[in-house]
């Protein structure tokens, strides 16, 4: 269980077609374990969730997950918070509801490592902070898009590229390289927020809203934007 984790409603239509869970990042701080709704890593995902709500146009439930604790504790990682959130979604919306995970930094890592969960139909990992030992589950029925800026000095893009290259034969994974994009996703914001939202609409609703998503849907696995 993750009794201290919380789900915050961003948009909850009466009869959603699918559910999007937005996952924040944020490293641990000495002596501070609780997640604050006002911390920068949490606030960074507010415009991402808003972009998804706008693109979904009332057809998807959009929720933000606040983890039970900061950072990546080996005794209780954010992956367990995702598992808890998926259980809450199943109880609230029904066990057959398709879910898409959108995560930034360590939230991106948690999303990627949750790809094996049966309810997960799609993943968008934004500037994911990954470990070289991380591996994507062998599932071809889950669409995974990694969106990473090549100027990221916090979460090394070389690591997410390595996972993409190693696991693309086992998973339906594509990589979008954002030229000049940094970890905070402030530079080239539309390449992160807007593209993430449009990827979600494609993954859960089957709609293609721009040329980059069209290229992803056609099977391209490496795209420069």
Task: Say which range, 11-20, 23-32, 86-95, has the weakest mean pLDDT.
Answer: 23-32
Q: Quickly state the pLDDT bin for 132 (edges 50, 70, 90).
A: confident
What residue ranges do the domains of the chain occupy? 6-224
Residue 30: per-residue pLDDT: 62
Neighbours of 70 (CB within 10 A): 21
Average pLDDT score over residue span 205-220:
97
Residue 61: per-residue pLDDT: 98
In whole angstroms, give the CA distance from residue 118 to residue 134: 19
Task: Say which range, 69-78, 111-120, 155-164, 172-181, has the weakest mean pLDDT.
Answer: 69-78
Average pLDDT score over residue span 200-211:
97
Residue 28: per-residue pLDDT: 74
User: Mean pLDDT for the chain?
Assistant: 94
pLDDT at 2 over 50: no
Counting Cβ atoms within 10 Å, is residue 135 exposed (0-12), middle (13-18) or buried (19+)? Answer: middle
Look up residue 141 and give its two tokens: 């029925």
SS3 label, residue 92: helix
Q: What percent of the chain has pLDDT over 70?
A: 97
Q: Quickly state the pLDDT bin for 34 (edges 50, 70, 90).
A: confident
Q: What is the CATH number of domain 6-224?
A: 3.40.50.1820
pLDDT at 1 over 60: no
* Structural contact between residues 56 and 200, judged by C-beta atoms closer than 8 angstroms: yes
Residue 33: per-residue pLDDT: 80
Average pLDDT score over residue span 117-124:
97
**CA geometry: angle 188, 191, 195, nearest 5 deg:** 160
Counting Cβ atoms within 10 Å, is residue 180 exposed (0-12), middle (13-18) or buried (19+)? Answer: exposed
Q: Give per-residue pLDDT as tens, 62-114.
A: 999 999 999 897 778 999 999 999 999 999 999 999 999 999 999 999 999 99
């Amino acid at each position: 269980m993750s009794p201290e984790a919380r789900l915050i409603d961003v948009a909850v239509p009466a009869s959603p077609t699918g559910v999007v869970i937005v996952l924040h990042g944020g490293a641990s701080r000495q002596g501070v374990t609780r997640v604050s709704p006002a911390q920068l890593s949490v606030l960074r995902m507010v415009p991402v969730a808003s972009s998804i709500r706008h693109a979904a146009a009332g057809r998807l439930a959009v929720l933000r997950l606040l983890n039970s604790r900061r950072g990546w504790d080996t005794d209780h990682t954010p992956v367990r918070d995702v598992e808890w959130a998926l259980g809450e979604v199943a109880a609230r919306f029904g066990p057959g509801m398709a879910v898409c995970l959108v995560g930034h930094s360590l939230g991106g890592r948690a999303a990627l490592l949750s790809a094996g969960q049966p309810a997960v139909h799609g993943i968008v990992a934004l500037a994911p902070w990954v470990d070289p030992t991380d591996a994507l589950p062998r599932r071809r029925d889950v669409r995974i898009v990694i969106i990473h800026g090549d100027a990221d000095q916090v979460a090394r893009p070389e690591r997410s590229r390595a996972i993409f290259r190693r696991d693309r034969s086992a998973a339906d994974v594509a990589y979008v390289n954002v030229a000049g994009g940094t970890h905070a996703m402030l530079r080239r914001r539309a390449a992160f927020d807007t593209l993430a939202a449009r990827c979600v609409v494609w993954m859960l609703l089957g709609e293609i809203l721009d040329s980059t998503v069209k290229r992803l849907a056609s099977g391209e696995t490496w795209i420069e934007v």
